[in-house]
A and B are shown apart, each in its own frame.
Chain A
Amino acid sequence: DGGITQSPKYLFRKEGQNVTLSCEQNLNHDAMYWYRQDPGQGLRLIYYSQIVNDFQKGDIAEGYSVSREKKESFPLTVTSAQKNPTAFYLCASSIVTGNMNTEAFFGQGTRLTVV
């Protein structure tokens, strides 16, 4: 089955530790995205990438880092510099074509709790 997989679903970390969230897709999508969602809030864009070895900062990139070494993988590292890391993290992917009306598909998300 094609899809986008995030792991783990729940993650607990101690304050001050870096943590990496996994996002893998087998949809052959070029574009991938990371969002953060806080309770009762919308999705805020952290980073996005359209091609391998290239990525762009979103609206709230501080305290986060990403890599795009393979088309199918876009891991997100939450560093100790992120002041409020506890949140629901969502990864998405989409194709890139001349037709801009192509939807983004989401993984099931990772709930990160920092204690």
Chain B
Amino acid sequence: RKEVEQDPGPFNVPEGATVAFNCTYSNSASQSFFWYRQDCRKEPKLLMSVYSSGNEDGRFTAQLNRASQYISLLIRDSKLSDSATYLCVVRVLTGGGNKLTFGTGTQLKVEL
């Protein structure tokens, strides 16, 4: 089983739609969680951290379910500019330091 798993998509949605992505992780000792956004041929950039109580940033809502070992990202009122790949990231403290593992990413295409 992969350490971090995501549905690769693509998710094709109309502008204004609400879309949700899920991500599961296998290591129960995982300590912190993030969503990154990656545009085509660019480096990933932090979209938001994911906190235990859930958190919201404008149209974006992230949630964590430790019992089931998954995190989610909800995007409301999708914009054309939201088209990108969304990467789920998990940090685990190992004997050698902080290991940051990425999922394969979920591709989102927002259309007119």
Q: Footprint of B on A, CB under 8 Å? A: 31, 33, 35, 41-45, 48-51, 54-56, 58-59, 88, 90, 92, 94, 96, 100-101, 103-104, 106-109
Contacts and interface: CB of A to CB of B under 8 A. Distances in A.
Contact of B96 (A43, A56, A92, A100): A56
**Majority SS at the chain A contact face:** strand
B71 interface: no
- The B contact surface, by secondary structure, is strand
A100 B91 contact: yes
B43 A100 contact: no
Contacts of A33: 100
A43 B102 contact: yes
B28 to A, nearest CB: 15
Given A50-B96, A104-B89, 19 more contacts: A33-B100, A41-B105, A42-B102, A42-B104, A43-B87, A44-B102, A45-B100, A48-B96, A48-B98, A48-B99, A56-B99, A92-B100, A94-B98, A100-B32, A101-B49, A106-B43, A106-B45, A107-B43, A108-B43
Interface residues of B, number: 27
Given A43-B87, A108-B43, A31 B97 contact: yes
A50 B46 CA distance: 20
A90 B99 contact: no
Contact of B97 (A43, A56, A59): A56
Contacts of B42: 108-109
Given A35-B102, A42-B105, A100-B32, A49 B87 contact: no
